Structure formats: structure tokens, C-alpha cells
Amino acid sequence: MKTFLMTSRFILAVAVACTSYLSTENTFGQFLPDPILLDSFEGVGGISDWSTQNDYVAETENSIYISHSQSTTGVTNGANSLALEMNSGSGWGVSLSASFTDIDTGLYDAFNTVAANPAGWYLEGDLTLDASSWANVSNPIGPPFVGLFQMNVALNSDASFTQAFATADVWEQETQIPLRINMNDLNPVQDSDVFQFFLGGSHVFAAGGTPEAPLGAIAYLDNLRFVPAPPSVPVTISSWEVGATDYSNDWSDCGLGCMDDPPSGHTGSHVHTIVANSPAATDGTRVLQIDNTRQNDPGLFPNGFAFHWGSTIELNSNIGTPEAPVIDSGIQGRIDELRELINSASAFAFDIHFEDLFNGNAVDPFSPAPAFMRVALAVNDGTGSFFQAEGTALAGTPDANATDTFQYIIGTNIMTDVSTDLGILSEVGLTDTNQLNVFLALNSDGGLLAQIDNFRVIIEVDLSADFNNDGKVDENDLVVWQNAYGANANGDADGDGDSDGKDFLAWQRTYGVDATQSSVALSKADMALLGIGVGVPEPTTGILLLFGSVLLGSSRRRSA
């Protein structure tokens, strides 16, 4: 069932989905399956299953591995973690294999369960970086002169090797951050003979030591697990339909180059048009068609293919000058609305279709099909920040080879501010200013013709405090937490393996969320944002007093 709600600027399609970002139905059995622990690196053999070699020569030759060991740094589950030391470069550190003959550990069954419905699962891990992570490395002495450290993951199943970024750039940060990626991005094939999972990164830094014995950056990982994807609300930003009241009419194909004076030399290398009656359309009949094949012409682009930003939403409410600003309230309202949607989102998503470039019928017959291809996305505001990321590598994957339209997702948790070093978009968000831009680009080494539709943000329903797993956060979950407090992890909302006051705060923050309804009940802030005029009740005074009595009782037990 789809419920359509009109807001001031766009149509919101509330399609609650447990097993996918998009669904036209709301059907729940057991509300969410239990998380599946892959490894917490415990015991004498805690890292023995992780190999530094694999069956793929290209990956072995591209290894950035220096060492791995068991550690007590960054522990979030049990008593140990994995310390992975990596060199500068892009490649792989360690891998974990699960064969169909594996009947003892359950590892193969875990991957195969996820492969049956990959969009319904996230791969998550707790990544810790501290002073020791950077003790032996420094900024590169040449361009880009600033270090880069971004964790990558990959999966091979039945000869389908798919890789993706799992974190933002976290160079020189000293913190704990989530490693998180939707398993749909890794394209697992159910009933494969072997699932082989790779952990590595894309790094740029000056390593310590010597070329023969380098010293690299160290990442600490714990609690690697599969977590069921929560229900989510997709909110369409652009559908490119006639008369659309969303942001469809705010796109240009200039990119950053058109903001330069004079315009960048890359202007014209990325051209987009609106195509009507496209079979690739998923929301109406029209799509945004992006064409970068002009870069095949050496007369126009003697340096060949080069990355640059292309299709852009450009919003600026200052219709005056920087020195004497005049703010247009209508434009500012649209900026505020889009900014709040982005700040509430866990991901951007869109539906994309490629012309048959990968099967020998390229749009430009004089250019080979790309061997490298990703879609890049960025957002910025008036502060100078520039949050950017690329999604899954596509060239040669089944999705890109197919003739159908498929979903492409870029999580806000991997979008790093590369301009002012503000942090990660999912953590810090955009700032309230009079400007907002959204950028799209095709990053490839050959000509592409792509059709995009239903450009949207994904707002997840927070069920972390649904301790009894019935799809609602209510008084019944508080009872579960009360009984688990200080005793076990049955009331664990933050995944740290215990039930404590932080988990109560998570319950309090999400109290009233109900994902069992056709129109999902979100938090007050999300409901106000999405124009849903149904209030979510605050926890009653009695419930808050109950929390106090639980803490008091626990304190007395400890002091007795």
C-alpha cells in the first residue's frame, strides 16, 4: 500500500519497507530478523579465519596489507578486536572465506541468508581510530598534500567481485565510527560455492619505516555483523515530470565548472537532457539522461576522460549581492526544506539505467566500454563545506550489464567534507545558510549514457529501542529494558552489548515510533519534516519516574 501525502513542495510517497529501500506494500511477519554476528575476534583463534591471501591475483598484487593482529583497542563486543595495519594505496588487507562445506561455524549460512535478500541487510562494524592509528604516517609530500583514509569492502560470490566504500574519509580522526554498507551494494549471489569477503581501503599518506619494512596506519575493528535494514521512508527530490513541484526544475548540467569565471575547460563534457516516455522511468514517464561521451573526442578533450561535477541543483536565496544581501523567502523556504531532508537522511538513492555499453553496442562506436565506472554525489552549503562520495563500482557487474533499471545508493555515512574538514555528513549535517547545491557526476574512463529517475533521500525509521521486536517503540519495550538493565543485552539499543542508561535515552528519543502502520509513525521531528500532522506522545511522568526507580535500585544493589 502506498500513502501519498502532499507537502508544500513535493509529493511524499510513504512506502515502508523492511526488506528494501522501496516497496509498494507494508507486510511484516516477525518484524525484523535478529542480527547475525560474523566475528568479534575472541579467544585464542580470534583472527585465525582471516587470511592475507586470496584466489584473485589482481587483488593480491594490489594488496596494501602490512599486518593484522588481535587487539584490545576499540573493543565493543567481548574482550578483543582486530588491528589491521595498511600501507598507502588502494587495495585489500585481509579476507574471510565461507564455503558451502562449512557446517560448523555457520558462516556460510550467514552469508547465504543475507544473499537471499541483500537489500534487507546491512554489514556493520565498529571502527576505532586513535593516536596509535596515525603514529607512523603523515601527510603525503606531493599532491594532494593531504592524507586520505577510507575503508573499503568487497565480496566475491560465484565470480561476481563487487567492491564499495564502507566509511567516509576519516584521515587523522581519533574516534569510533560505524563501518556500514547495505549488502545490496556488494551483490551477493545466493547458493554460491564460496563467499569471500575482503576488508581494505583507499589511502593516501606517507608511510613510515622503509620500503622493505613499511609502517602504516592502523584501524581497529570489532563486532562485525549483519544487521537487518530498518523500515525506511523514501522522499522524492526530483522525478522530472511535467508540472512537478519538487526540485526537478532546479537542475543544470554546468557542474562546478560553470561557477568559474571563465568557465572550466571541462564545461560541455557532461550534458544532460530530459527524456520523455522512457522505458527506464520508475516514477512517471520522464528521466534525466546524462551523456559524457563527448569526452571521446580528442579534438574537444585532448587529455581524454577527466572527472568533473555535472548535473547540479543550484539554490541561492540571495537575490542581492554578497555585500548587500536580499533574501527571497520563497527560495529560502525551499532551501530549508531540502537541507532538513538531507540532514535526516541515511542515504541518497536513485534508479539508473545504462544504454547497452557493456555488451558491445556502445553509444559511441569508436570508444570501448568503460573499465571503470562509479556515480559520484556531493552536497554543499554556504559555509564552504563540500560533502562528497562515490557509490559502488559498476563496470562489469551484473547490474550494469543488465538491460533493466536498478537502484543505486550512496550513504550519507560515507560523504566526507573535503573542503573545510568539517566531518561526515551523517554526523554533522548541512548548515542553515542561504545556499544549497547537490551535484551528480559519472566517473568513468569511457563514454556513458545513463538515465536516472526518482532521485530521493532515504529516512530510516529508528527501531533500535524496539526491544521486543514488534515494530513499535512503546511501554512494553521499557519493561524489557527494565528487566535487562545491568543484567544482559536484551535492552541494548546502541549495540554495545549491554543494557544501560544510554539505551533508555534511545528508547525515550524514539518513543512512539510505530512501523506497523501503512503510514509509518516517525519521531516528532521527522513527522514535522515530512508534513505528517499526527503527534507522537512524550513518555508519561510515570514512565520517567520508573526509569529513576530502576537507576536508584541499581545503585543500591551496587552499594550493598
CA dist 162 and 113 (Å) reads: 18
Whether the domain at 36-229 and the domain at 233-460 fall into the same CATH topology: yes
> In what helix (H) or strand (E) does residue 288 lie, and over which residues does it extend?
strand 287-291
Q: With CA atoms as reference, report the closest residue to 397 among 388, 389, 408.
A: 408
The pLDDT score that the predictor gives to residue 526 is 54
Q: With CA atoms as reference, report the closest residue to 199 among 94, 111, 128.
A: 94
* Residue 349 identity: A
Which CATH code for domain 36-229?
2.60.120.260
Using the predicted structure, report yes or no on whether residue 279 has a pLDDT greater than 70.
yes
Using the predicted structure, report yes or no on whether residue 316 has a pLDDT greater than 50.
yes
pLDDT digits (tens, 9 = 90+) for 249-258: 999 876 545 4
The pLDDT score that the predictor gives to residue 511 is 87
* Residue 528 identity: A
- Average confidence (pLDDT) over 447-458: 90
Q: Which grid cell is 339? A: 537541507
Using the predicted structure, report yes or no on whether residue 21 has a pLDDT greater than 90.
no
pLDDT digits (tens, 9 = 90+) for 136-160: 999 998 777 889 999 999 999 986 7
pLDDT digits (tens, 9 = 90+) for 466-509: 999 888 889 999 999 999 999 998 999 887 778 999 999 999 88
- Average confidence (pLDDT) over 329-354: 92
Cβ pair 521, 527 in contact under 8 A: yes
Domain boundary assignment for the chain: 36-229, 233-460, 472-530
Which SS3 state, helix, strand or coil, does residue 368 take?
coil
- Average confidence (pLDDT) over 90-112: 86
- Average confidence (pLDDT) over 184-200: 91
The CATH T-level fold of domain 233-460 is: Jelly Rolls (2.60.120)
CA dist 448 and 358 (Å) reads: 10
The alpha carbons of the chain give a radius of gyration, in whole angstroms, of 24
pLDDT grade for 559, boundaries at 50, 70 and 90: very low
Predicted TM-score (pTM) of the model is 0.77
The pLDDT score that the predictor gives to residue 104 is 66
Cβ pair 543, 534 in contact under 8 A: no
Q: Which of 48-57, 83-92, 307-316, 523-532 has the weakest average pLDDT? A: 523-532
The pLDDT score that the predictor gives to residue 58 is 45
Higher-confidence position of 198 and 525: 198
The pLDDT score that the predictor gives to residue 85 is 96
Helices (H), 411-514: 425-428, 475-484, 501-510
Neighbours of 43 (CB within 10 A): 12
Using the predicted structure, report yes or no on whether residue 352 has a pLDDT greater than 80.
yes
